[in-house]
Structures are given as structure tokens and as C-alpha cells.
Amino acid sequence: MNLARLLVFGSLCGATAASLPPRPPDPACSYEASSEDTGQPTVKKQVPVGTILSGQTSLDFDGDGRPELMRVIARVERDRAVNTVTGQQSDSLFCWFHTTLEIRNAARRLSYRDKWSIKFEDMPLLVATHRAASPEDYFSRFGNLQGYFRTGVDTVASTEVRIDSEAIEWSLKAQQIGGASARTISNELRKQRVVRVFTYRAEWREDLRIVAYVSSLRRGVAIQIGY
């Protein structure tokens, strides 16, 4: 190909690129928190798809006196709902906060991970019951929210914790932790005098999740999901 033909080709490419229509802006999701739900003035706002809300908190999850870093990231997306049993997708699109939670030690070793999605319509009650001012405030203080519900680390007597084998099995699978079983983890925690737990709510206000630190795994494992 000679220089003249290259120049023609380049001119055609430039003309084609210039003639393309501008890319439409990303759609926005409507967030509404009514005064009936929150007891505060009604809030209505548009949140662009792709918006990222985040927060991080230092906490001593394993009880060794050296804090781990808990980080949560929520990305606003418009997706279909999926039935977790059948895999069937909804016909309609919904707005979500797709959320990832990680706890890592000072050496960046993973201690715990969880992922969930919050529908926009469920967010106002999560915000209100944790005494947060907004979704931005909720995620920025996620590791230490103090309201009617709270998030954070506690030390609990092993006789007082509820240990659910199904929750443990689900958590092991979700985190891809092999070489452990719900029975061995339950026995280990029951033999301890106290258990270190991290408590939070995920998809909606009734979605209580309690995670115990398991010394033999050096990982956190959910021991209770829901009430």
C-alpha cells in the first residue's frame, strides 16, 4: 500500500469516526426515601449507573490486637433479578447496589469476603435502621454503624451464639474454602470459651449475617444468616 492510498484510508476512517452519533449518557437510577419509612424528610434523587460508594474501617476481627481492614464497595447497576433456585431472570430491569465486602489483615491476607445486591427500594430502611444519613453515609461507615441495628465486631460466649450448619456450608462454598466441613467448624467454635463475630446486614434489613472467626482456617465463616 503506497502513501497516497494510506492517506485516503486515513481520511475515510476519520470521516467515519466523526459521523458516528454521540454515545448516550449512562442511565440514572431513581432513589427515593419516603418520610413514612425513615421519619426524615422525603429524599428523591437520580444516581447515575456506575456510581461507586465505598468505605473502610479498621477492626480487630481475629482478636490478636492488630487491626484488620474492612472495605466495602457498592456499584450502582441496572440488572435483572435472578431466582437463585431456578436461575430464571425477571422480565424487568431493577436498580441495585452490587456490593462486595472484604476483610484483610495488615499483610493483605484475606480473612473474609461476601457479595450481595441491594435493591434501591430496600436501601432506605437499611439507611434509617442504622441511623445513617444517606446511602453514601451508610457505606462509608459500614464497619461501625450504630443505630437500631449495628455493624461491627463483638466477643460473644460460645454458648450464646447460634451456629447454623447450612450457613457455614453456604459461606465455605461462596468463599471457595476447601478442606473444611460445617461439623468440624461447629465443633471448634463450641469448644471455645468465646467467639469473635462480625455482624452486619446485607440485602435488606432482615438479612442478618453473623460471621465467626475460625482460628484453624484463619478465615471468617458465616454462622448465621437471617433470624
Average pLDDT over all residues of the chain:
88
Q: What is the pLDDT of residue 153?
A: 97
pLDDT band at 88 (very low <50, low <70, confident <90, very high): confident
pLDDT above 70 covers a percentage of the chain that reads 88
- Cβ atoms 174, 114 nearer than 8 A: yes
- Cβ atoms 100, 92 nearer than 8 A: no
Q: What is the pLDDT of residue 26?
A: 60
Higher pLDDT, 153 or 86: 153
C-alpha torsion sign, points 150, 154, 158, 159: negative
Cα torsion at 47, 49, 51, 52 (round to 10°)?
A: 120
Which has the minimum average pLDDT: 13-17, 101-105, 170-174?
13-17
Residue 11: is its pLDDT beyond 80? no
C-alpha cell, 105: 489483615
Q: What is the pLDDT of residue 6?
A: 35
Residue 71 has what DSSP assignment? E
Q: Could you tell me the strand order of the sheet in which 52-59 lies?
A: 52-59, 68-82, 89-104, 110-119
pLDDT band at 54 (very low <50, low <70, confident <90, very high): very high
